[in-house]
């Protein structure tokens, strides 16, 4: 463990812990610089003899790490990618619930009437990442002090944020993302069912963008990314979280970003591709699903699609946005009342912020009458302004996200609003604006799995233009109530602060 703690302290970004007042004064940290820096990290690890095994259970580690320390409040991580252009950084701000590829980050458990959640916290409000876990007790209307599941030892990169799964016995499994081979991914399990009091490290391995799903009667189906030939997509399964199948690559088209969802035993995923391995050229929209624990992957027509995908034109392709010279940023997906996919994403003309990429559109794709159909819901201010898609009773769909201008209008995020479709996605209208006159932009509104009406969306805020505090929020389904998680706590429990009623 001492060796791993050493490599954990290797920074992923050549930036000071506290940013200068104006992030735009930083020199560009371009793709070439990132590759050089990653090679330096890997070379340093090799020099220390730090190989990264595929799976290494805790039994083979020197010691089992138990995490039980608590923070005295809820503070999210602030981050800047350090890639400024004329209209600001590529993305920055409060990123405690980043990315859309870390799913789920919250799960409601009716057995105990609690919504459990994880997020990227900040040690003492600094640029020092902590993987945090907590819950909201719906019966009592309180939250405990959040637990520090893992201290990233000075790393500030929210790509290392956690995701969450809960097994049938109520044990919480926290998958703390790694970053390529420079930092391993970590899997922790709660020591007691339905509790965030303490966690034990179970395994470490190479994974980024963790998406664990518990399938009844089968175990974990785990979707994730490995930096093999670009950001390639993989799947692994386990009956118990300890013994895992070999990693199976299922998409390798130069790289991908994906998100996923679960409906019963059916796992669905939507992803883009990175031509030539360049994330700034991300394009195309793909969809796959499995109902047999990853043994077979099928497209929307139910046709088996051989994996791994190695050619851009394949049976999973939803739309060839590359031919249209459009970029694709995926938010969320679900199944409609007919059991057909519905996907939320943003299209753009440029990877850089500003008017050069306009028009950017919050877009929904859905399968209807034997073909994919599309609706442009509203204009997007930024490629990385991100929200969630919900299928509700009957034919009603909902989007929660930062679609409205915020106090930093050019940066990622904004004010949060709810959009409603009463007719299975055919038409949309803004139902309600949830936040107003905020001091900082809100972003990355996340949908809890099995969401409770009183904890329907979960997100963070932060100033994308300069270093700032980052606070965490959740909202009711109706949008008439928004709560802020307590930034500072004196006792062991506290009521969230009701900001809108």
How far apart CA 66 and CA 208 sit, in angstroms, is: 22
Which residues sit opposite 263 in a β-bridge?
266
- How many other CB atoms sit within 10 Å of the CB of residue 38? 16
Find, among 264, 323, 237, 253, the residue nearest to 286 by Cα.
253
Q: What are the residue ranges spanned by the domains of the chain?
A: 2-76+90-500
CA angle 5, 8, 14 (to 5 degrees): 145
In this structure, are strands 472-475 and 457-462 parallel, antiparallel, or unpaired?
antiparallel
Instruction: Write the DSSP assignment of 33-98 as a string of letters.
Output: HHHHHHHHHHHHHHHTT----SEEEGGGSSS--EE--B-SS--B-EEE-S-EETTEESSEEE-TT-
Residue 153 makes CB contacts below 8 A (sequence gap 6+) with 5, 8, 9
- How many other CB atoms sit within 10 Å of the CB of residue 183? 29
Q: Quick one: pLDDT at residue 154?
A: 87
pLDDT (tens digit per residue) in 292-330: 999 999 999 999 999 999 999 999 999 999 999 999 999
Q: Quick one: pLDDT at residue 59?
A: 45
Tokens of 271: 């992803």
CA 449 to mean position of chain CA atoms: 13
Find, among 452, 389, 447, 382, the residue nearest to 415 by Cα.
382
Q: Quick one: pLDDT at residue 40?
A: 34
Rounded to a whole number of angstroms, the distance between the first and last alpha carbons of the chain is 48
Tokens of 169: 């016995």
DSSP state of 464: T
Q: Quick one: pLDDT at residue 17?
A: 31
Residue 338 φ/ψ, nearest 5 degrees: -90, 0
The residue behind tokens 């175990």 is 219
Name the strand (E) or helix (H) holding 388. Answer: strand 388-391
Q: Quick one: pLDDT at residue 167?
A: 98
Q: Quick one: pLDDT at residue 56?
A: 60
Low-confidence ranges of the chain (pLDDT < 50): 1-53, 58-63
Looking at domain 2-76+90-500, its CATH architecture is 7 Propeller (2.130)
Tokens of 362: 């919050």
How far apart CA 174 and CA 120 sit, in angstroms, is: 12
DSSP state of 187: E
How far apart CA 323 and CA 314 sit, in angstroms, is: 15
Residue 14: is it exposed, middle or buried by C-beta count within 10 angstroms (0-12/13-18/19+)?
Answer: middle
Residue 242 φ/ψ, nearest 5 degrees: -115, -40
Instruction: Write the DSSP assignment of 189-205 as a string of letters.
Output: EESSTT--S-EEEEEEE
Residue 164: is it exposed, middle or buried by C-beta count within 10 angstroms (0-12/13-18/19+)?
Answer: buried
The answer to whether residues 167 and 173 touch, using CB atoms and an 8 Å cutoff, is yes
Rg (the chain; Cα; Å) = 21
DSSP state of 276: G
The answer to whether residues 113 and 54 touch, using CB atoms and an 8 Å cutoff, is no
The residue behind tokens 């940023």 is 329
CA 120 to mean position of chain CA atoms: 10
Half-sphere exposure of 285 (CA within 13 A, CB side): 28
Find, among 76, 117, 140, the residue nearest to 447 by Cα.
117
How far apart CA 29 and CA 374 sit, in angstroms, is: 36
């Amino acid at each position: 463990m001492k060796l791993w703690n050493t490599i954990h302290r290797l920074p992923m970004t050549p930036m000071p812990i506290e940013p200068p007042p104006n992030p735009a004064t930083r020199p560009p940290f371009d793709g070439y610089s990132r590759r050089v820096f990653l090679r330096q990290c890997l070379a340093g690890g090799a020099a220390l003899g730090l190989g990264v095994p595929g799976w290494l259970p805790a039994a083979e580690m020197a010691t089992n790490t138990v995490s039980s320390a608590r923070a005295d409040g809820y503070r999210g991580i602030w981050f800047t990618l350090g890639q400024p252009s004329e209209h600001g950084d590529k993305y920055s701000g409060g990123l405690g619930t980043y990315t859309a590829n870390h799913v789920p980050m919250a799960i409601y458990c009716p057995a105990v009437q609690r919504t459990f959640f994880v997020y990227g916290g900040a040690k003492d409000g600094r640029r020092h990442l902590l993987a945090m876990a907590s819950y909201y007790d719906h019966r009592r209307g309180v939250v405990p002090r959040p637990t520090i599941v893992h201290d990233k030892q000075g790393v500030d990169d929210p790509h290392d944020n956690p995701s969450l799964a809960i097994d049938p016995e109520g044990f919480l499994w926290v998958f703390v993302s790694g970053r390529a081979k420079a930092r391993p991914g970590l899997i922790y399990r709660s020591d007691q069912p339905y509790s965030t009091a303490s966690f034990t490290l179970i395994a470490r391995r190479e994974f980024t963008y963790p998406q664990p799903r518990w399938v009844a009667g089968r175990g974990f189906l785990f979707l994730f990314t490995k930096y093999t030939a670009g950001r390639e997509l993989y799947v692994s399964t386990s009956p118990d979280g300890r013994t895992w199948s070999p990693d199976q690559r299922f998409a390798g088209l130069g790289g991908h970003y994906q998100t996923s969802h679960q409906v019963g035993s059916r796992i669905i995923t939507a992803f883009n591709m990175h031509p030539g391995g360049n994330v700034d050229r991300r394009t195309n929209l793909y969809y796959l699903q499995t109902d047999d624990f990853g043994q077979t992957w099928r497209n929307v027509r139910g046709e088996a699609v051989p994996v791994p995908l190695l050619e851009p034109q394949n049976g999973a392709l939803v739309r060839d946005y590359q031919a249209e010279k459009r970029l694709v940023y995926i938010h969320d997906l679900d199944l409609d009342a007919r059991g057909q996919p519905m996907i939320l994403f943003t299209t753009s003309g440029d990877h850089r912020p500003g008017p050069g990429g306009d028009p950017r559109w919050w877009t929904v794709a859905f399968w209807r009458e034997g073909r994919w159909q599309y609706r442009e819901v509203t204009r997007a201010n930024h490629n990385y302004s991100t929200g969630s898609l919900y299928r509700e009773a009957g034919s009603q769909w909902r989007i929660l996200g930062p679609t409205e201008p915020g106090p930093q209008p050019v940066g990622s995020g904004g004010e949060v609003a709810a959009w409603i479709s009463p007719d299975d996605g055919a038409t949309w209208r803004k139902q309600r604006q949830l936040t107003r006159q905020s001091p900082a932009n809100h972003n990355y509104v996340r949908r809890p799995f099995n969401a409770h009406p009183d904890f329907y969306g979960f997100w963070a805020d932060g100033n994308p233009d300069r270093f700032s505090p980052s606070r965490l929020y959740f909202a009711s389904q109706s949008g008439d109530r928004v709560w802020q998680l307590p930034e500072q706590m004196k006792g062991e429990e506290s009521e969230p602060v009701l900001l809108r009623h």
